[in-house]
Structure 1
Amino acid sequence: MPQEAHVSEDPRGRLRRLADRGTDHADSADAAGWRPTLFRLDRNGTDGLTALLDSGAVRRVHDRLADQLRALVATRRPADRHPAAELERRAWAFLVGRHPADHGTWVWYPWSGTLVHTLPEAEYRELRTARNRHKITTTEQRRLAGTRIGVVGLSVGNAAAVTLALEGIGGAFKIADLDRLELSNLNRIRGRLADLGAEKTVLAARQMFDVDPYLEIERWAGGIRPENVDEFLLGGGKLDLVVEECDDLHLKVLIRERARAHRIPVLMDTSDRGMLDVERFDLEPDRPVFHGLAPSVRAADLCGLAAPDKIPFMLAILDEERLSTRAAACLPEVGHTLETWPQLASGVALGGAVVADTARRLLLGEPVPSGRYYVDPDALVAPGAGLHHTPPTVPTATAGSDAPALPPEPRRGAVCAEAARWIAAVGTLAPSAHNAQPWSLTWRGDAARLECRHDPARDLPSLDFEHGATWVAFGALAENLELASAHLGLRADTRTWPDPDDPALVCTVTLTPGPASPRVPIEVVGRRATNRRRGPRRPLGAGLAPLLEAACAEAGGRLRLLAAEPELAEIGALIGAGDRLSLLNEPMHRDAMAGYRWTPEEARARPYGLDLATAELTGAEQAVFRVLRQWRVMACLSEFGGGRALEDLARSSVAGASAVGLITVPGTARESYLRGGRAMQRLWLAATAHDVALQPMTALPYLFARLERGGGQGLDQGERASLRALRTRYRRLFDTGTDEAEVLLFRLAHVAAPSARSLRRPLDQAFSSSRGSGSGTAGWR
């Protein structure tokens, strides 16, 4: 018998029947249609979730809780480099022995048929907003989550509401709109074809809940009317902000009148030229609505007014001369070639962003005054408005690593201006804090004397307590002058502060013929340089420590060296903390940054201060450092307790050090520091002769001096407390006393030669010659 033919139902009828059923479901306004249901197995048991699973409504279970726990662990301690196994162990420690399903929340989204497992509310919010830090601080994020926001009109309003939810601005929302989603709305409202016919309040609520299921959202699908506007603004707790984006002129004015009565601020974006209205009725309860642009307009007068009759009011409010050209041209076309006012997705998205950004600042109490503002892409991205029309030229390389050139060497044994000039040139190769080169040298030919003066224009007052570092630099200068004199077969008689009435005259060096020999070859003076290169740690080398100690002791200094790994790790942490503290202090930051030369051209134009190339930074470090030279950035870091990355460079430098040393001398007077400068230079030249790199790391000792001998002048209470704690740890490494000058804290390392050296001022800027005698200032530059 032939098989009976199968007769299928006509697809047209079947589609009609299923479409009707789907429409009924989509249009459902009950709680199951737009609000998620939250299940906590450790609180309300398994019955509810079991019933849901048994119903067959769940089409997908999405459980990525393990990923979220691992991300939470990593976010809480981002500086740690978690091995995968350790990250996994710490992540599952959250469960405290419970079943994974019992941790967090199971969120049922009925509109997608999806059941999602996520973190409990506090952890969820912490992780979801982790990428907001520190643009929004943790404290600010909590404040924002506690605010109540009303959104009226869900075109621009949809973009604003979803952006607010994404950014964690607002914990409770009221959203109002009468309309349903139409196909023509999809030119600017994010939705799906499958959402057509859905109430706009339902669409916005679902999108916001998809971002954050813990939000409180109240839908006002019936819209706002005179009889319920106060309930919208005050019911369940007064709104902190209203975002008004509706099309109805009567409602626009009504909302403002009532918001003003209740002192609630209002924001509105028009999606044309990025125009934003801010009306701070919370601060200005007598402020006219719409800034008084339509002074006679009242909501009661607009009720029932025909659309053409509203146009004069709209033009007055929008300021027709400031409308974009195309928007203005569209006005007379409404009702003719246009059904309604046109809007573009880009304008709506921009409006949502501008509203959210302004709302955040307003709700956090930042200054957001009333007024009209334009974030107009046409004006911002326009001919002549942008930067870098011509690409910047690539900077040429810095001078390189060669020693500075010296004048021709004069004949030996002659006391003359040429000899003095050459000796001065060798002298000014001495190191100075921040390469300030704080000296001016004058040759008095009749007296055969070099006068070395302090140039206060080169001071770094906040970094150099009581000029200690300046006197150290003069000690190194005097040491170089004596070495250069000996190289020429001349004796050098150095006297410090010879004239009580002339404190700027730090020392004089009188030259006489006579047998003399330098302690080190003069070429070592030229090779000496600060070397900040980093590399793997290598031992200092047998016999080098005693040699350096002896060199230091020759000038009356004492050297203490740290070489054990735990000690180096601790001193690296302390130096880093000192760097962080000084860079977060505004005067110290200003002096430090003013001393840098940020481009090769700037270094050549002002050959004093620190050429950035000598810092031996990686590309990433250099980029960050350039940003950190702006005090506004540092102030922001300080505000939220950041800046730990400022410690990383010192830690990294010390991590590869063979040793870290401290030079001290007895006493704390200026003479002590100058003597310490001699000890420093002798040690440095000895290290250079043995190809050992030296890098000063001086911030901490001078901070301690400011704290202890200066009473913490220039430091706030918190900075003083931090320094006292650092001092306690520091003294466990270095047994210094209060009657000692800590001249130089430095790193020794076996690394390659520096890639760049700090430049020196042209000799004619630092040296002058005069036939006159005495200690006058003739010829001083």
Structure 2
Amino acid sequence: MTAPALDTSAITALIADATAAPSLHNAQPWKFRFHRGSGTLRLYADLERELPKTDPDNRGLRLGCGAALFNLRVAAVAAGRDPAVRLLPDDSDPMLLAEVDLTGSAPPDDPLAVLQPAIHRRHTSRAPFLEDDIPDVLRDGLCVAARLEGCRLVFPETWHVQAVLDLVHDAECCEAWAPDVRNETAHWVRTEPASETSASDGIPAEALGPGQWGASSPVRDLTVGRTVAGRDWAPFEKCPHLALLGTAHDRPVDWLWAGQALERVWLQATLDGLVASLTSQPLEWPEFRWAVRDPASAMAYVQMVIRLGYGPEGHPTPRRPVTEVLDIV
């Protein structure tokens, strides 16, 4: 069944939900173009927001765009539309990541709709989490969420968690000796609160969380060598709950699938009362990335390390106005 044509306010609302997605350093590397005549929306990579030192192959960029695409799918279904997605539809235009036909009507029982309330509640939490275990039923549900997007989510054993933490710390040491990477991070990470800057991207001071005593958690210190006024220090959980999200292959299309799976897992976790942060440092260094995967797992390529648990919700980060990322033709 064909849905009514989308007006400007309706497409603006969909894009506002889409752009609530996470992205590396909150760079928000996406652009959208809506074609009124055909009722299709195109998602493009915004290379003006790439991170060439941290993310030289734009894997992280595509993960973020995939997460935005998933939010769009959820918002569309919640609005009664059935989003028909084609990934990488034009070989001659590698920056065109997806084309979404929004002319169809969604069935009333589409399970994606239940995730919509979590879109604007989902925030990265860089605070300490409780030591409480995550029930198996919730873990299993998150694994199912990843599989529904063609990916795998595994919760590694204790020995493997420690190995991943060691790799995180090794990657942090490499970053400490890479001024170009540190400078790139400093461009996106603020040492002042959002109220003192007009920036509509990046990470403000209040979203950084406290500094960490010890080295038991994989929470990234985004302000190495810089002072954040009023920032506290705190001990973090000794045994963090980590999950590895991965794919069978490592192509651009797999990165888009992984981004969608990441957001589906995160929205489901939010509805389940969990909070999360992401760890990508060891995945940004080729000499470490291969070692992150569990050799006993069928997962060939780890795309993201997710820290999950119970704790305070993270602070919102700024978002670019829809008018900056949406073109209607």
- For 2:311, the aligned partner's letter is V
Identify which of 124, 129, 132 aligns with 1:538: 132
1:284-299 superposed matches below 5 A: none
Matched residue, 2:265? 683
Give yes or no for the alignment of 1:438 onto 2:29.
Answer: yes
Distance 2:68 2:140 in 1: 25
Using the TM superposition, give the Cα deviation of residue 653 of structure 1 relative to its aligned residue in structure 2, in angstroms.
4.6
**Structure 1 residue ranges without an equivalent (≥5):** 1-411, 631-648, 708-722, 771-781
Residues 600-657 of structure 1: CA distance to partner in whole angstroms, max 9, x if unpaired? Answer: 2577411211122211024999xx9757149xxxxxxxxxxxxxxxxxx9x9656252
Secondary structure of the structure 1 residue equivalent to 2:58 = helix
**Conserved? CA contact 1:551–1:679, under 8 Å:** yes
1:724-739 superposed matches below 5 A: 730-731=292-293, 733=294, 735=296
Give yes or no for the alignment of 1:486 onto 2:46.
Answer: no
Give yes or no for the alignment of 1:669 onto 2:237.
Answer: no
Distance 1:671 1:458 in 2: 20
Residues 620, 603 of structure 1: alpha-carbon distance in 2 compared, 3 angstrom cutoff:
farther
Give yes or no for the alignment of 1:761 onto 2:320.
Answer: yes
Residues 462, 652 of structure 1: alpha-carbon distance in 2 compared, 3 angstrom cutoff:
farther
Secondary structure of the structure 2 residue equivalent to 1:672 = helix
Matched residue, 2:308? 748
Give yes or no for the alignment of 1:612 onto 2:205.
Answer: yes
**Conserved? CA contact 1:568–1:654, under 8 Å:** no
Give yes or no for the alignment of 1:468 onto 2:59.
Answer: yes
Distance 1:694 1:669 in 2: 26
Distance 2:212 2:302 in 1: 33
Using the TM superposition, give the Cα deviation of residue 744 of structure 1 relative to its aligned residue in structure 2, in angstroms.
0.8
Distance 1:625 1:501 in 2: 37
Distance 2:213 2:156 in 1: 30
Identify which of 99, 102, 124 aligns with 1:508: 99
Matched residue, 1:559? 153
- For 1:692, the aligned partner's letter is L
Root-mean-square deviation (CA, aligned residues, Å) is 2.8
**Conserved? CA contact 2:115–2:268, under 8 Å:** no
Residues 538, 599 of structure 1: alpha-carbon distance in 2 compared, 3 angstrom cutoff:
same
Query: TM-score scaled to structure 2, two decimals?
Result: 0.86
Distance 2:316 2:263 in 1: 17
Matched residue, 1:700? 282
Secondary structure of the structure 2 residue equivalent to 1:510 = strand
Using the TM superposition, give the Cα deviation of residue 535 of structure 1 relative to its aligned residue in structure 2, in angstroms.
3.5
**Conserved? CA contact 2:15–2:326, under 8 Å:** yes
Residues 341-390 of structure 1: CA distance to partner in whole angstroms, max 9, x if unpaired? Answer: xxxxxxxxxxxxxxxxxxxxxxxxxxxxxxxxxxxxxxxxxxxxxxxxxx
Matched residue, 1:573? 166
Distance 2:196 2:93 in 1: 33
Residues 604, 767 of structure 1: alpha-carbon distance in 2 compared, 3 angstrom cutoff:
farther
Distance 2:85 2:41 in 1: 9
Query: TM-score scaled to structure 1, two decimals?
Result: 0.38
Secondary structure of the structure 1 residue equivalent to 2:143 = helix
Using the TM superposition, give the Cα deviation of residue 497 of structure 1 relative to its aligned residue in structure 2, in angstroms.
2.0
1:112-151 superposed matches below 5 A: none
Give yes or no for the alignment of 1:522 onto 2:82.
Answer: no
**Conserved? CA contact 1:559–1:661, under 8 Å:** yes
- For 2:121, the aligned partner's letter is R
Distance 1:499 1:450 in 2: 14
Distance 2:115 2:148 in 1: 17
Matched residue, 2:238? 655
**Structure 2 residue ranges without an equivalent (≥5):** 215-220, 228-232
Residues 481, 536 of structure 1: alpha-carbon distance in 2 compared, 3 angstrom cutoff:
closer
1:375-386 superposed matches below 5 A: none
Residues 224-250 of structure 1: CA distance to partner in whole angstroms, max 9, x if unpaired? Answer: xxxxxxxxxxxxxxxxxxxxxxxxxxx
- For 1:767, the aligned partner's letter is L
**Conserved? CA contact 1:569–1:655, under 8 Å:** no
Secondary structure of the structure 1 residue equivalent to 2:22 = coil
Query: Percent identity of the aligned residues?
Result: 21
Secondary structure of the structure 1 residue equivalent to 2:119 = helix
- For 2:321, the aligned partner's letter is P
1:332-411 superposed matches below 5 A: none
Distance 1:501 1:518 in 2: 34
Using the TM superposition, give the Cα deviation of residue 735 of structure 1 relative to its aligned residue in structure 2, in angstroms.
4.3
**Conserved? CA contact 1:551–1:683, under 8 Å:** yes
Secondary structure of the structure 2 residue equivalent to 1:562 = coil
1:121-520 superposed matches below 5 A: 414-516=5-107, 517-519=110-112, 520=114
- For 1:468, the aligned partner's letter is R
Distance 1:620 1:698 in 2: 20
Mark the structure with the bigger radius of gyration: 1
Distance 2:57 2:213 in 1: 35
Secondary structure of the structure 2 residue equivalent to 1:655 = coil
Distance 2:144 2:188 in 1: 33
- For 1:681, the aligned partner's letter is E
**Conserved? CA contact 2:67–2:260, under 8 Å:** yes
**Conserved? CA contact 2:248–2:300, under 8 Å:** yes
Q: Which structure shows the bigger proportion of residues in strand conformation?
A: 2
Distance 1:413 1:487 in 2: 15
**Conserved? CA contact 2:19–2:28, under 8 Å:** yes
Distance 2:269 2:326 in 1: 28
Residues 654, 473 of structure 1: alpha-carbon distance in 2 compared, 3 angstrom cutoff:
farther
Task: State the aligned residue count.
Answer: 313
Distance 1:697 1:759 in 2: 20
Residues 422, 628 of structure 1: alpha-carbon distance in 2 compared, 3 angstrom cutoff:
same
Residues 320-342 of structure 1: CA distance to partner in whole angstroms, max 9, x if unpaired? Answer: xxxxxxxxxxxxxxxxxxxxxxx
Distance 1:727 1:654 in 2: 26
Residues 709-761 of structure 1: CA distance to partner in whole angstroms, max 9, x if unpaired? Answer: xxxxxxxxxxxxxx4xx855x45x45468x9332111111111222x221111
Secondary structure of the structure 1 residue equivalent to 2:305 = strand
**Conserved? CA contact 1:559–1:664, under 8 Å:** yes
**Conserved? CA contact 1:559–1:662, under 8 Å:** yes
Residues 653, 437 of structure 1: alpha-carbon distance in 2 compared, 3 angstrom cutoff:
farther
Secondary structure of the structure 1 residue equivalent to 2:57 = helix
**Conserved? CA contact 1:424–1:767, under 8 Å:** yes
